[in-house]
């Protein structure tokens, strides 16, 4: 054996002896604490079993829910008749043409949406200012003229500026 190989074997032997010595020291020093370590390990085992039990309960609950939903879906689909792109359903002995209902519900894209025209009920600024100068509150002015508080406030704030 070459000297490098002998040095390598001696090095790993020394490391192994030191590691074994440290483990023996740790083992001997932990002997008085074996009871506490055992209690902690037992508590950890109980905690792991409780968590596993909770996961099993949640899994079972989820599995039952999925099975019931699948059963309901299959029952509904047993009442549906499909032929190509035509779909119909049998409800209480009557046949409902679902494809026709779907087509009837579509809004043609060529028609523009109707525009709502808001009536212009903005009162004259002069009227608002006259009522404001008489000492009426902004809410009273808005109610009596049929406008919003915001519009009355906007007009009266421009006067004071």
Residues 8, 71 within the same domain: yes
Q: Quick one: 65 and 82 in the same domain?
A: no
pLDDT, one tens digit per residue, over 87-141 is: 899 888 888 888 888 888 886 666 666 676 665 666 788 888 888 888 888 888 8
Residue 116 lies in a domain: no
Task: For residue 114, tell me if it sits in a domain.
Answer: no
Helix axes 138-145, 149-160, angle to 10 degrees: 130
Domain range for 151 is: 125-160
Question: For 19-38, how does the pLDDT look when each residue is reduced to its tens digit (9 = 90+)?
Answer: 999 999 999 998 999 999 99
For the question of whether the overall pTM of this predicted structure is more than 0.75, the answer is: no
Nearest to 130 by CA among 146, 119, 141, 114: 141
């Amino acid at each position: 054996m070459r000297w490098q190989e002998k040095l390598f074997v001696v090095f790993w032997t020394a490391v192994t002896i030191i590691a074994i010595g440290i483990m023996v020291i740790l083992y001997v020093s932990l002997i008085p604490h074996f009871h506490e370590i055992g209690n902690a390990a037992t508590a950890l085992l109980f905690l792991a079993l409780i968590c596993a039990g909770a996961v099993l309960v949640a899994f079972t609950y989820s599995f039952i829910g999925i099975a019931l939903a699948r059963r309901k879906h299959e029952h509904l689909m047993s009442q549906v008749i499909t032929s190509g792109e035509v779909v119909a359903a049998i409800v209480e002995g009557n046949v409902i043409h679902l494809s026709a209902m779907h087509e009837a519900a579509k809004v043609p894209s060529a028609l523009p949406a109707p525009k709502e025209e808001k009536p212009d009920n903005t009162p004259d600024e002069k009227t608002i200012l006259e009522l404001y100068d008489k000492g009426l509150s902004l809410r009273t002015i808005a109610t009596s003229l049929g406008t919003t508080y915001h519009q009355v406030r906007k007009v009266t704030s421009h006067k004071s500026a």
